[in-house]
Amino acid sequence: MEFKTICALATPRMNCAIHIIRISGPRAFEIVNNILNLPLNKKGFVISRRIIMDGHKYIDDVLINTFISPKSYTGEDVVEINCHGGVQVADYILRLLLKFGAEPAERGEFSKRALINKKIDISQAEAINNLVHSKNQISILGSTNALVGNVSQKLKDFQHELFMLIGQIEVNIDYPEFDDVPQITEKDALEATKKLIDKIDQLIINSKRFIPLNEGIRTIIIGEPNAGKSSLLNVLTNTNKAIVSDIEGTTRDIIESSINIDGITLKLFDTAGIRNTNDKLEKMGIDRALELANNVDLILLLRPISKFFVPYNDFENNLINKKNCIIVYTKIDTIEDI
C-alpha cells in the first residue's frame, strides 16, 4: 500500500526557538525540493542547511534532517525541517508544502504509518500515546518500558511457547508411529497450557496495576461533616479550593484537584460530609460521595481525634472493610479540649 505524502508541525504550535516540520511519504523529497534554494540529495541520516524559498522570496534559513525508507520512524521517506520558531514562519512553510502536493497529517498519523509499516507494534503505539500524555515520573518510566519493547518481547515469547506446544501436539497426532518424535501426554499439554495462561494473567495484572499510576490514583476524602476534609484538601494542594467553615454541610458537590508526590499523581476528591439530612441538595452531594467511594483507588476516611475511642458507625465500617481505606484522625490541635 502506498500512502500520500503528509506533513505536520511536530512541535507545539507556539512561538519558540525552533520548530520541526515533518514530511513523510513517497514524495517527501520531491515536494520539499520544490521550496528549497538547492535540492536535497536522497541520502539518509544527513543534516543539510538550506534556504526555504517561495518563488524568488527568501523565507527562512533552515536545517533539514533526511531519512530514507525503511530506515525512518514511519518506515517511509521522511524529511524534517528545523525552522525558526515563529508560528507564522512554520505556517508559511506548511502552506508551501501543501501547495506542492503534501496533505495535512491527521492526528497520530505518523505513528499509525509506523504501525502499519511494522516499525512499531500496537503496545509500542499505545506506549507512545501514554508517554506523550504522562502526568508523572512513574508514568514516564512505565511508558518507556513498553516503548523499548519489553512488553512486546513478552508477548512474542508467549506466542513462541504456544506455537511450540501446538506443533508438538500436531506432530504427535500426525506421526504417532515415529519413536524419535518427543511424546507429549494430555497431562503434559494441560500443564504447559496452564503455565502459559498463568504468565499471561500475571502480565495483565501488572498492566492493570500501572493504570492508576499512569492516570493518577483516584483518592476520595470522605467523612462526617466538619471532619476536616476541605482543610486537608487545601493543605495538600496548597490552595483555597474548598471552603472551610464550622457550619455543617458547607461542601455539597465534589471538588476535584491533583497533587504529585514523589512522581506519583493523586487525583483528590473532596466530598460532602456524610450524615442524615432533609436538605435535598446536600443529600444529592452525599449520594454522589458514597457512589464515588465505590469507584476510587484509595479512600481517606477522616475522623476528628475527639472520636478516637468512639466506635465506628455503619457508614465508616462499610468503608473500613474495603482494602484500600486509610483512617486519618484530624484536628490534633484540639486535643487539649478532649
102/17 same-domain check = yes
Q: What is the mean pLDDT of residues 87-115?
A: 97
155/261 same-domain check = no
Phi-psi region of 84 (alpha: psi -120 to 50; beta: other; left: phi over 0): beta
> Is 131 within the bounds of a domain?
no
229/332 same-domain check = yes
- Last-in-domain residue among 214, 231, 248: 214
Phi-psi region of 22 (alpha: psi -120 to 50; beta: other; left: phi over 0): beta
Identify the band that residue 332 occupies on the pLDDT scale cut at 50, 70 and 90. confident
282/309 same-domain check = yes
194/226 same-domain check = no
> Is 1 within the bounds of a domain?
no
> Is 259 within the bounds of a domain?
yes
Identify the band that residue 129 occupies on the pLDDT scale cut at 50, 70 and 90. confident
Contact 31, 101 (CB under 8 A): yes
Q: pLDDT digits over 162-184, tens only?
A: 999 998 888 888 877 666 767 78
What is the share, in percent, of the chain residues with pLDDT greater than 90? 49
Q: So what's the pLDDT on residue 337?
A: 53
166/97 same-domain check = no
> Is 130 within the bounds of a domain?
no
203/234 same-domain check = no
Sheet of strand 264-270: strand arrangement: 255-261, 264-270, 217-223, 298-304, 325-330
Identify the band that residue 194 occupies on the pLDDT scale cut at 50, 70 and 90. very high
Q: So what's the pLDDT on residue 171?
A: 84
295/253 same-domain check = yes
Q: pLDDT digits over 131-153, tens only?
A: 888 877 777 877 787 777 678 88
- Can you give the CATH number for the domain in which 13 is found? 3.30.1360.120
Most confident of 77-81, 152-156, 326-330: 77-81
> Is 129 within the bounds of a domain?
no
Contact 103, 4 (CB under 8 A): yes
Query: Helix 186-215 vs helix 150-174: angle between axes, to the nearest 10 degrees?
Result: 160
Q: What is the mean pLDDT of residues 231-246?
A: 77
100/149 same-domain check = no
Most confident of 22-31, 209-218, 221-230, 289-298: 22-31
261/299 same-domain check = yes
322/222 same-domain check = yes
**Higher-confidence residue: 54 or 247?**
54
Q: So what's the pLDDT on residue 335?
A: 74
For residue 12, how many other CB atoms are within 10 A of its CB?
10
163/192 same-domain check = yes
The span from the CA of 320 to the CA of 325, in Å, is: 6
Q: What is the mean pLDDT of residues 239-251?
A: 62
> Is 121 within the bounds of a domain?
no
> Is 128 within the bounds of a domain?
no
> Is 92 within the bounds of a domain?
yes
Domains identified in the chain, total number: 3
Q: Looking at the predicted structure, is the pLDDT value of residue 250 above 60?
A: no
- Last-in-domain residue among 192, 214, 236: 214
- Can you give the CATH number for the domain in which 265 is found? 3.40.50.300
**Where in the sequence is the domain holding 320, given as residue range(s)?**
217-337
Q: What are phi and psi of 110, to 5 degrees?
A: -65, -45
Q: What is the pTM of this model?
A: 0.68
Mean pLDDT score across all residues of the chain: 88
Q: pLDDT digits over 277-289, tens only?
A: 888 887 888 888 8
- Last-in-domain residue among 116, 149, 166: 116
Q: Looking at the predicted structure, is the pLDDT value of residue 247 above 80?
A: no
